Amino acid sequence: MDKFDAIVLGAGIVGVSAAIHLLRRNRSVLLLDKGLPGEATSYGNAGVIEREGFYPIVFPRGLAELYRIARNEEARLNYNRRFLPRLAPWLLKLRTATGPRGIDAYAEAMNPILSHAAAEHGSLAGKSRAVEFFRGTGWLKGYRSIASFEAGTKAHLALADHFGVRYQVLGSHEIVDLEPDLSPVFARGVLWPESVSVSSPGGVTKAHARLFDLMGGVLAQGDARSLRRENDLWVVDRTTGPATAPDVVVALGPWSMDLLAPMGYRLPFAVKRGYHQHFKPRGDAALDRPIVDVDHGYVLTPMRQGYRITTGIEFDERDAPPTPVQIERIMPQARALFPIGEAIEREPWMGARPCFPDSMPIVGPAPKHPGLWLNFGHGHLGFTLGPATGRLLAEQITREMPFVDPAPFSALRFGGR
């Protein structure tokens, strides 16, 4: 049986980053996944490192919006009605957590770590030779009417002013000046220049995994659910045989509770499914940055594979068959915004985001088991926060002074269960 100082379960951006930070602190590390690094949740996102992610996704409160959602015809949100009774307790917790006081608490907790997110990505990218994927062009959020701009930005921009985060409000003509191949459909836009984007989030994760290997870490395939406690150590089965360590990190994203629930953890956890598909542009049309069509709930972002369209949220069983109706709903609006050509893949890709109702991850020790550490539940900010929470967790494991306060991300906020 091979012995390590730490085992990290999950080779997405969160797990790979934690594994590298532990190696940097002279720990021997095994990184285990059932598949290859960067091919699950870390592959299928908009590839944005959000500086302004201190405003959570909130539960709708207006009657008009609730009526639109009830019709289940929105591009921003789709759901399986038969799944709603199981999801209802989580949605009620989301409603409570995203009231005005909850939004302020979220912003105060998240801003410190978000202020380090781009720098932590840069620290890893410089070593892993992934700098070629990064763009410092910010991203643009577009609003199709003055009313939607005013309703959708007032609180968010106030927080940006409070934290000193730069932004630029653009009119219709200024948006087209910035991105000449966009049609003039946006009445207003907000450019967030401090956010960074990448042309392949999966490629970045794979580059970091190669760095982990070059640094002396051990990559292996296996089933994380084989984790067990033996003689005060953790043991997990690889395809090449068992391995053991005193510390183990659960960074399994939407699969984390598959391991933790049988161990007795009852956390308010949900999975938001989402889709993306790549398209060729027509002619020589191009974009320099990701574009969010806020009113219709999708992101159009230039990737190495083509122009990626990512959808909003779908609520259903994590492993239920794909129902990519949101891509179909989005396409007329996307084609009116940008000259989109033929699809590159035959079918949209589907992934899942791991979420807690307060929109913050758990980053720290598991309450019931010594040597068990948790780093999951990043929601829509997994790619943004992976390197930063990887560092924060490694500092806790090695008993260093954390670079930000870990208390808001403790599992104890859910009652220690």
DSSP-derived pairing of the beta strands 291-293 and 298-303: antiparallel
Q: Please report which confidence band the pLDDT of residue 49 belongs to, taking 50, 70 and 90 as the band edges.
A: very high
Q: For residue range 239-261, what is the model confidence (pLDDT) as tens digits? A: 999 999 999 999 999 999 999 99
Q: What are the strands, taking DSSP E only, across 296-343?
A: 298-303, 306-310, 313-315, 340-343
Residue that the structure tokens 């995203």 belong to: 98
Residue 43 is which amino acid?
Y
Name the token pair of 220. Answer: 């292996």
Residue 3 has a CB neighbour count (10 Å cut-off) of 11
What distance lies between CA 57 and its chain's CA centroid?
Answer: 13
Say if residue 301's pLDDT is above 80. yes
> Which residues make Cβ contacts (< 8 Å) with residue 104, sequence separation at least 6?
none
Q: What is the mean pLDDT of residues 306-321?
A: 96
| Cβ proximity of 81 and 264 under 8 Å | no
Distance CA 407, CA 401 (A): 13
| Cβ proximity of 78 and 72 under 8 Å | yes
Q: What is the mean pLDDT of residues 385-408?
A: 98
Q: For residue range 79-115, what is the model confidence (pLDDT) as tens digits? A: 999 999 999 999 999 999 999 999 999 999 999 999 9
Give me the DSSP letters along 116-149.
HHHHHHHHHHHHHT-GGGEE-S-EEEEESSHHHH
Backbone angles phi, psi at 406, to 5 degrees: -80, -10
At 70 the pLDDT is: 86
Q: What are the strands, taking DSSP E only, across 119-246?
A: 134-135, 139-143, 168-171, 188-192, 196-198, 218-221, 228-230, 233-238, 241-245
Residue 194 is which amino acid?
E
Q: What is the mean pLDDT of residues 176-197?
A: 98
Residue 128 is which amino acid?
S
CA 178 to each of CA 152, 192, 306: distance values in angstroms, whole numbers, following the listed order? 21, 13, 20
Name the token pair of 396. Answer: 């806790």
Say if residue 416's pLDDT is above 80. no
Distance CA 372, CA 368 (A): 8
Distance CA 100, CA 145 (A): 25
Q: What is the mean pLDDT of residues 64-74?
A: 84
Q: What is the pTM of this model?
A: 0.96
Residue 270 is which amino acid?
A
